[in-house]
Structure 1
Amino acid sequence: MKRDAFNAKNAPQPRGGYAQAVRIEDFSRVLFVSGQIPADSDDVLPTGFEAQARQVWLNVDAQLKAAGMSKADIVKVTMYLSDRHHTMANREIRAEYLGALAPAMTVIIAGIFDESWLLEVEVVAAQ
């Protein structure tokens, strides 16, 4: 698969860890991962934003692996945060998981289905 990131010079530049646009070509599979919640496989919900964020990325990773893919295949991320005060911690933990990968990304502050969930993350991956 060929992947190109674009950050148009005449538009706002990304503010850490993502690209404004990602083009993919010559791919054979696309995976749409539903919003992953911060509970583990036993439905245990960690306490605090940082622990919940790390659990969400573990869940994303599990879905990717189940489909024979990895985080290197992520091309789009949509993150739902329950509170804008989690923005910086979210950015740091996302960077821990994604490393140098810069997918297209949207972060939305929203009321989440379960009030105890502090975030939810969905991704699109392609190979």
Structure 2
Amino acid sequence: MKRDHINAMNAPQPSGGYSQAVSIENFGRLLFVSGQIPMTSDDAVPEGFTAQARQVWLNVDAQLKAAGMSKTDVVKVTTYLADRQHVVENREIRKEYLGALAPAMTVVITGIFDSAWLLEVEVVAAQ
């Protein structure tokens, strides 16, 4: 698969570990991962944003692995935050998981389905 990160010079430059656009060619499969919530497999919701964000990325990782993929296949991330006060912490935890990867990204501040959840993350992956 060929992946290109596109950041037009005549538009705002990305900050925080993402690309303005990602082009993929010669891929064989796309995986659309539904919004992953901060809940463990035994239905526990961790306390606090940091623990919830780490749980969400563990859940994303589990879905990717179940499909025979990994985080290196992620090309798009959409994050829904319950409160903008978590923007910086969200970026830091996302970077812990993604490292140097720079997928296309959107962050939306919105109401979340369950008021106990502080975020939800969906991804698109390609191989």
TM-score (norm 1): 0.99
Other-structure match for 2:2: 2
TM-score (norm 2): 0.99
User: Deviations 1:78-113 (Å, cap 9, x if unpaired)?
Assistant: 000000000010000000000000000000000000
User: Deviations 1:26-82 (Å, cap 9, x if unpaired)?
Assistant: 000000000000001001100000000000000000000000000000000000000
Q: Kindly state the Cα deviation for residue 16 of structure 1 after the two structures are TM-superposed.
A: 1.1
Paired with 1:91 and 1:122, the residues of 2 have a C-alpha distance of 15
Other-structure match for 2:22: 22
Count of aligned pairs between the two proteins: 127
Runs of 4+ with >3 A deviation: none
Other-structure match for 2:98: 98
**Structure 2 residues not aligned, in runs of 5+:** none
Determine helix, strand or coil for the equivalent of 1:5. Answer: strand
Paired with 1:110 and 1:15, the residues of 2 have a C-alpha distance of 22
Paired with 1:16 and 1:59, the residues of 2 have a C-alpha distance of 22
Paired with 1:16 and 1:8, the residues of 2 have a C-alpha distance of 16
Other-structure match for 2:34: 34
Amino acid at match of 1:56: V
